[in-house]
């Protein structure tokens, strides 16, 4: 039985680069026709570029004009994030270098009477570069490729948004190699490593459209498919102080119709990624994430009610409204609905909301805030490291 052809690192890198460019174009709300016209190219050329179907690296001038035009539209009159443009152009240069390396290795293999997978092979199977070439010369080429052109799979990058400083500090404390990252439209990110994951961290506050806005920006500018919102919430259900609630649905409790007969509820819901909920359930069942002490916190999977109000009264009008129309909610949140709704609009993003319970409504202490933030960060870290990075 004949063996299947070995996967090709050049083709895999070309396809990944094209996918990244396509995501940039869609973020700028360009059609292929419109972008081709503006940069003096053709629809077929850009389509081939995005599909990664060419036999050679795309023309540098075309790539540069493609990137710059999309970034100008995305910037909306503000400064284009220099780091993002540099990252894209660096990826292109690595692509060019990688093609030369593989072609050179192929030539050496032919001279030695062996045959390497061609740089024009159509396989797009994601593989580790070091596994591509099997013969002695091939292994040398693969090692050189891996050393000179490090590739982090897209799935191995995640963005963690913290709603407050305590949650940010708690999660950052579980990572290593924390360093300053890019500034994207005013939002400052830090870069860190958690296990085999590259993590981008940002503190964004809570409430209003903030969470949705930041998710959209990160989806365009950072090459990550996993987006996590971590922070604190207050309990209105079975959750107790110190527990962690992972939202399987988030209710927008403020949605309604204001009529002559009063406000009629029109509750909207937003759901997280099914994949991440499955992982969260697994982590919750195993319980290894939880710090040990006199009281072991629980991880609960259930609905959260979200709006723009900070609810501090047990008998407040908002609390009674939530009890009546979101009766199964475990906690009250700020911003979670907008975050998940924004992720719903992007099929390439997996999103999840994780909240540490700091107190029941109307009762808050500084110690409970620290515990809630620490537990939410611990669960989020355990969840992320449970996901295979590739």
Q: What is the pLDDT of residue 159?
A: 93
Confidence check: pLDDT of 6 > 50:
no
**pLDDT tier, 142 (very low <50, low <70, confident <90, very high otherwise):** very low
303-337 tens-digit pLDDT: 988 877 777 766 777 777 777 777 788 888 887 88
Cβ atoms of 244 and 299 closer than 8 Å: yes
**pLDDT tier, 352 (very low <50, low <70, confident <90, very high otherwise):** very high
Confidence check: pLDDT of 135 > 50:
no
Phi, psi of 242 (to 5 degrees): 95, -20
Q: Please give the average per-residue pLDDT across 131-157, as a whole number.
A: 42
Cα separation, 338 vs 351, in Å, equals 11
* Beta strand pairing call for 226-235 and 157-162: parallel
Lowest mean pLDDT among 51-60, 98-107, 366-375: 98-107
Neighbours of 284 (CB within 10 A): 19
Q: What is the pLDDT of residue 382?
A: 92
Cα separation, 92 vs 17, in Å, equals 7
Cβ atoms of 201 and 268 closer than 8 Å: no
Q: Please give the average per-residue pLDDT across 103-109, as a whole number.
A: 73
Confidence check: pLDDT of 171 > 80:
yes
Pick the more confident residue, 318 or 142.
Answer: 318
Q: What percent of the chain has pLDDT over 90?
A: 20
**Tokens, residue 307:** 């709006």
Going along the chain from its start, the domains and CATH numbers come out as 9-148 (1.10.260.40), 155-385 (3.40.50.1580)
Lowest mean pLDDT among 16-30, 168-182, 226-240: 16-30
């Amino acid at each position: 039985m004949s063996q299947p052809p070995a996967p090709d690192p050049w083709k895999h890198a070309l396809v990944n680069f094209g996918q990244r460019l396509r995501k940039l174009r869609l973020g700028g709300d360009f059609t292929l026709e419109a972008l081709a016209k503006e940069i003096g190219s053709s629809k077929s050329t850009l389509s081939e570029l995005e599909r990664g179907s060419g036999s050679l690296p795309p023309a540098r001038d075309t790539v540069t004009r493609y990137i710059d035009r999309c970034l100008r539209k995305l910037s909306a009159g503000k400064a284009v994030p220099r780091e993002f443009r540099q990252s894209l152009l660096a990826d292109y240069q690595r692509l060019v270098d990688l093609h030369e390396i593989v072609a050179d290795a192929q030539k050496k293999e032919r001279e030695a009477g062996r045959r390497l997978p061609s740089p024009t092979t159509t396989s797009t199977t994601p593989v580790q570069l070091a596994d591509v070439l099997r013969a002695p010369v091939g292994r040398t080429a693969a090692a050189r490729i891996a050393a000179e052109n490090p590739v982090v799979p897209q799935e191995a990058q995640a963005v963690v948004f913290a709603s407050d400083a305590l949650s940010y500090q708690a999660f950052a404390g579980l990572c290593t190699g924390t360093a300053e990252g890019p500034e994207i439209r005013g939002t400052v990110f830090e870069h860190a490593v958690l296990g085999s994951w590259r993590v981008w961290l940002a503190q964004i506050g809570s409430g209003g459209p903030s969470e949705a806005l930041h998710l959209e920006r990160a989806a365009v500018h950072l090459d990550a498919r996993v987006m996590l919102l971590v922070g604190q919430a207050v309990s209105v259900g079975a959750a107790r102080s110190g527990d962690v609630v992972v939202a399987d649905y988030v209710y927008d409790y403020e949605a309604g119709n204001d009529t002559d007969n009063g406000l009629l509820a029109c509750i909207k819901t937003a759901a997280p990624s099914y994949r991440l909920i499955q992982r969260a359930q697994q982590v919750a069942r195993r319980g290894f994430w939880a710090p040990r002490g006199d009281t072991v916190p629980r991880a609960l999977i259930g609905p959260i009610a979200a709006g723009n109000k900070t609810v501090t009264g047990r008998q407040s009008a908002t609390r009674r409204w939530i009890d009546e129309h979101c009766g199964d909610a475990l906690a009250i949140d700020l911003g979670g609905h907008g975050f998940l709704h924004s992720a719903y609009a992007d099929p390439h993003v997996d999103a999840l909301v994780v909240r540490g319970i700091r107190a029941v409504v109307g009762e808050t202490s500084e110690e409970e805030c620290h515990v809630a933030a620490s537990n939410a960060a611990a669960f989020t870290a355990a969840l992320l490291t449970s996901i295979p990075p590739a």
